[in-house]
Amino acid sequence: MKRKILPVAAFILGITSVTIAQNNDKRNYVSPLDTNLQITKKYDNVNRAAWNIGAVAGVDVSSFNGAVYGEISGSYCPNRFVFLGSVAVPITGEFISSSDLFKQANPYRNIMAAGIFNYKDVTENFPHEPTVGIKVLGSSSDGTTRTTTFNEFYTDGQTIEKRNTKGLGVSFNTISSNLFYDSAKTNPDRTQTITLENNQNLPNSFILKYSNTFFGFGWHQSSFESYKYIYEYTLNGEKLGKRVIKQTSFKHTGIELLLAPGMKHDPTIIYDNGGNFITANIQDVKTRLWGFRLVASTNQLSKKRPFKKPGLYQNGEVGMRPGIYYHKQGQAEGAQWLKDFLNQPFYMKYGIGITF
């Protein structure tokens, strides 16, 4: 029995053991003029990060509907300008509701193109103090904790280019969308959005297909860097290995006011009547012609790992689009203005994938 217990105990101790790395002498300075240090600069050019092509999968959700989408996006950022674009199409159908009405819905489509003029476009050199070598001194273990001690060596005198921009831009957006009305989720005390002909009562649930074209006017900022250095340091005749310091990163953020000159919608709503899809003519539709959004895209996902191309990439936006909406029926606590704000038709769009 003891022979069976001991291996199990050893296995458990192995799983629960903790490894601690301790820098014995903190960081030890090595002069860039030291003949034992070899520095090879492969490139340091922000323009390598100024163009990007990405492919992502994500979700676009709002109060009443949503979709899983695939998107191709790109950016090109020559001097004084930033150009952005994306095309998103559905991977699956609408998923917020299981209603059969969504079989009648417009398929998801989201197209965006933006041009930004940079009133500030500066490339600067920033100090860089990379680690050029690590000398392991030894390790010890008390059965549950393993401690490794080492000396770390770094140098200075290095700089890397970083480009930072700030600008004002205009975006063009077109979205294929749907209004899904569900009386159980809608605030009945707010202004009626849709009026049917002949004063017909609205069904408990229906769908209205529409397309939405709007413009965004806003402020944007971007940053870029791309460099690769190789360091080889020899300590007392011992080579501490080759260290490659490499990174290519970009980040775009912005805030936009959204304005729509108008919207195109079907002349009828569609509702389910005992398994049959019925249409009813619309007399009037109230539209929201303004909105706002915060946008961001970057390949900077984790500070613990270098940012690379090809590599992981994410983009997203949050806000309120122009469109045809009902106020959501909510349970928010507090003043009426807070309830009204929280029950607005906010949306969130987020995707993650690969950039090249």
Q: What is the pLDDT of residues 182-216, one digit of tens each?
A: 777 776 555 568 889 988 888 888 889 999 999 99
Q: Across 266-310, where does the E strand assignment appear?
A: 268-273, 276-285, 290-298
Determine the pLDDT at residue 24: 63
* Bridge partner residues of 213 (DSSP): 174, 262
In a domain, 139, yes or no: no
What's the average model confidence in pLDDT over 270-294? Answer: 90
Residue with tokens 């009026």: 195
Q: How many domains does the chain have?
A: 1
**Identity at 42, one-letter amino acid code:** K
Residue 97 pLDDT greater than 60, yes or no: no
3-state secondary structure of 104: helix
Q: Which of 63-67, 129-133, 134-138 has the lowest mean pLDDT?
A: 63-67
In a domain, 214, yes or no: yes
In a domain, 264, yes or no: yes
Q: How many CB atoms lie within 10 A of CB 192?
A: 11
CA distances from 194 to 17, 323, 326 (A): 64, 13, 9
The CATH number assigned to the domain holding 211 equals 2.40.128
In a domain, 7, yes or no: no
The residue among 345 and 174 whose pLDDT is bigger is 174
The residue among 113 and 328 whose pLDDT is bigger is 113
d(Cα 243, Cα 104) in Å, to the nearest integer? 58
- Two tokens at 288? 């929201």
In a domain, 155, yes or no: no
Domain residues for 275? Answer: 43-126+164-355
pLDDT-based confidence at residue 328 (cuts at 50, 70, 90) = low
Contact 69, 60 (CB under 8 A): yes
Contact 179, 328 (CB under 8 A): no
Contact 343, 330 (CB under 8 A): yes
- Two tokens at 164? 């930072």
